[in-house]
Amino acid sequence: MSQTKLPSRRKILEHFDRRDPVIAQLVREIGPFQLKKNRKYFQVLCKAIISQQISTKAAESITSRFWQLFDGHAPNPQEVGEMPESTLKGVGLSRQKVAYMKDLGKHFVEKSIRPHRLPHLSNEEVIGQLTGVYGIGQWTAEMFLIFSLNRMDVLPVADLGLQIAIQKLYGMKSRPTTKKIYSLGKKWHPLETVATWYGWRKLDENIVAY
């Protein structure tokens, strides 16, 4: 199973000074690596579904309205499953995302996803389970690995923020190819998540969280 303990600043700098000085310099500029483990797995996945293919600002607005449907407590699978589609669409969710959310709730209720088992599975096993949910693809599963399970070796090659960060950091004329990102990932291993997190911070000073 992948490492989940957050590495120390010293370990991060030792690793990237040796493997990729560009990231090492970024670590020195930005400061400590900060990633909080969010064990509210269902809520994290709801937020990830909401965030798919829309701006951060739009996602925050819809997430806030979605949470307000639950009278002050966090959404749970049973309630989402029973909630009328029109109510969910009323907070700004597309018909497609309502279907995704309903299917996610069903997987939790029927226990085809067992939250307490997820930390004990490999990255590939977690991705396999989560992508069995309608509307959850590789990217959403990778965000879960990073923000819920704090796996340190996740490389979300399809993440637009990471692509733009790499382009800026390495002075590329265009966005990097998947092959190029995988090549960088090999240098970063086993701290791909750390390099990705610093890349995100290069673009946005706010700490990313789910």
- Residues marked active site are found at 159
Taking Cα atoms as reference points, which of 31, 34, 12 lies closest to residue 21? 12
Residue 84: is the preceding peptide bond cis (ω within 30°)?
no
Please state, in angstroms and rounded to a whole number, the distance separating the CA atoms of residues 194 and 184. Answer: 13
Please state, in angstroms and rounded to a whole number, the distance separating the CA atoms of residues 1 and 151. Answer: 9
Rounded to 10 degrees, the C-alpha dihedral 24/27/32/34 comes to -100
Say if residues 88 and 94 touch (Cβ distance below 8 Å): no
Say if residues 125 and 144 touch (Cβ distance below 8 Å): no
Say if residues 126 and 144 touch (Cβ distance below 8 Å): yes
Say if residues 58 and 97 touch (Cβ distance below 8 Å): no
Say if residues 138 and 161 touch (Cβ distance below 8 Å): no
